[in-house]
Structure 1
């Protein structure tokens, strides 16, 4: 079952899309909002498999909402469908937001079904090919593209995931995950343990000082310690 988020302020259009969704093969959950602000807030707290966005919304444009969705790490590759009455807006959205497709109103049930099916299939393939670390925290699910993780620091039963998004370093505190478990979840070679309290992303290493047993990561203001027990993990890395 896929979670589909529809943002549409026209009640009749929302009702029609709900009917089309209920007719699809497979039981999909459709959540509907009439404003971009409410939809963005909800998507930050839930996991969405497909976004269907109307271009004209009461608070701001659907294309602007699409840009905001793309800044959320777990939605960088989530398919977005736009609905609009103005076919000429297609090219700009494809380029700027990398939306999957456009549905020009009025569209048929067959056109809707084909677009949704293709978009969900593409989304499944992207999840297989893009390494993602999924962290469950009570009512929340955090997803990190592994290429966004700088390092993970452990503090007893808690850990802090340091990631990079749009050139800014972000810190998220999590609980219930040991470094050993996170290392296993990341998959072979994606993260390295350099200290009893640190996992690092090797693609960001810029400098290793074996004398002071520290290393530097790109886009990271802090230095990372190297534990003697873990020096062998860095042997193939140059200073």
Structure 2
């Protein structure tokens, strides 16, 4: 099946160079070039895009233009594209915080950049998409510092949000994954026995050994305790104690 990559870029020479390089890397990839927000939306609706390469600023005439981010924000609201890799190209000095925190961006290229540098990131992003496509449904792939961590959902005891990161508490270690949210993890792990017990914590129900509603905590395994948020007590009581 042919893969589809969308390039949203108003610099025709740059988008053509990227299209050529991607084609030379893999002739089975169809590259769709768009110069406007509207053209990009049309392509995303027509094809199943597996990688988005988006210029943050499409109109240099408007200093406040952030069309690329607006497009990314729109596709992230579509279930089909919730976790599709996005690479931003930009002349902005620090787009990372918004791009990574809010839009779950795979990476970014600061202009001017070489085609070789771009292709290194593009190849990684396409491999990341392939990993997700062929992954066992009981495995989650987490990315940190350019490294993919395949983790069995059954090995996750609980997850906590902390300072723009998620802490994954496993049987033998804790992994800190930046710019991922509780909401995103719950979507990734749907139907595999996870439940939220507070604003900042999700637990794997298979590790729950005791439920203490009066003192508002769950005991996980032999010693670990996590708090139950006040607004979650009713849900915990109904789902775990069936009362």
Give the TM-score, by structure 1 length. 0.51
Aligned to 2:23: 22
Aligned to 1:7: 8
Aligned to 1:109: 115
- The Cα offsets for residues 157-204 of structure 1, whole Å up to 9 and x where unpaired, read as xxxxxxxxx9xxxxxxxxxxxxxxxxxxxxxx88xxxxxxxxxxxxxx
Q: Helix, strand or coil for the counterpart of 1:88?
A: coil
Aligned to 1:97: 103
Aligned to 1:206: none
- The Cα offsets for residues 42-74 of structure 1, whole Å up to 9 and x where unpaired, read as 212321110000001248520111111111111
- The answer to which structure, 1 or 2, has the higher relative contact order (CA under 8 A, 6+ apart) is 1
Pairwise mapping of residues 77-156 of structure 1 onto structure 2 (< 5 A)?
A: 77-129=83-135
- The Cα offsets for residues 120-177 of structure 1, whole Å up to 9 and x where unpaired, read as 111122234485xxxxxxxxxxxxxxxxxxxxxxxxxxxxxxxxxx9xxxxxxxxxxx
Per the TM alignment, residue 26 of structure 1 is displaced from its structure 2 partner at its CA by 4.5
* Whole-angstrom distance in 2 between the partners of 1:130 and 1:40: 31
Gapped regions of structure 1 (runs ≥ 5): 132-165, 167-188, 191-237
RMSD, aligned CA: 2.6
Pairwise mapping of residues 164-203 of structure 1 onto structure 2 (< 5 A)?
A: none
Aligned residues: 138
**1:37 and 2:43 matched:** no
Give the TM-score, by structure 2 length. 0.51
